[in-house]
Chain A
């Protein structure tokens, strides 16, 4: 059974249809990349899958781990193992990073019927993950993302992912705004989490990230539809010819 199977997904925000019929199947252990130009619906797909209430699903099915994804609230999707690394991580003054993360972990553990983790058990595990992302301990006593640099925010997303250990990780333009060193650290963090049970959906505009997080499948999203799918070599082709080529090819096909 697939981990996620999407059929004919249509989604709108504020009455505008953004996704216009998406079919996508992701199996455990696979890394899929969604590429496409700005405004093609990449981030919308990421938000819809993490159940953002502002996006309305107008048609189509999504079965995640044998369950109807559209029936889930954002927190339920999270507890079922879906994790979204935000394109723009949110600053939340007054809530400490470490406390936030432990609360999230315990919410998920509780959902699964596991015992909550106290601070004593949480800390050693947490420190381990911090090391993986090469993050400064001091950041964790601050409020969530408050005063973080762009790179620190993105690393913090991957840190959260490392702690929460999702089954399906969706990375929404995690590479944007990162210099090459930060990109390598983020990729190292992500690659450390790749395993046969976990799937990833890497949304990106640029091929660059895919040099470090090598996908099994690449899908090209243009104007709310997947216009092409292929292996990792497709990303390189796109880099060379650009999205315009894809778009024109599609227009020609429709004509």
Chain B
């Protein structure tokens, strides 16, 4: 990994982790694994920036794809065959998918609260809201990362915002439920 690339990655590291965390539904250790795998892809030359999009857009696309791969692997491991193979061939200790108790305390209520709200939205809507508001990306960049047209991204964005506001009102006024 050359110095320029490492410097770019270092600059984006915190945001990249936030994105990985979002792609892994807030699972801290899975997000770490995903980001590590993404770095490994760069180090092995399995992913390289071709200049068609900004570095951040491209890098977030790589992380998103890596998270999807990780999710497929997780589903496979949870399948019957996977569990059988894991029983026969114990693999390296992969750790508890949940954050440690100390980490759970550190993940403060605010972070969990937003995550819970986003979890109630369709995945695309949550994704575009995260990219626009958390990562401060434009809709065009968000659409590129998500692999959808800008029109589709805008639709998810508008619907997501409206629905999130409704959910926020519900949580700030708990009496509405009664």
Real binding pair? no
Q: Which residues of A approach B to under 8 Å, CB–CB?
A: none
Q: Which residues of B approach A to under 8 Å, CB–CB?
A: none
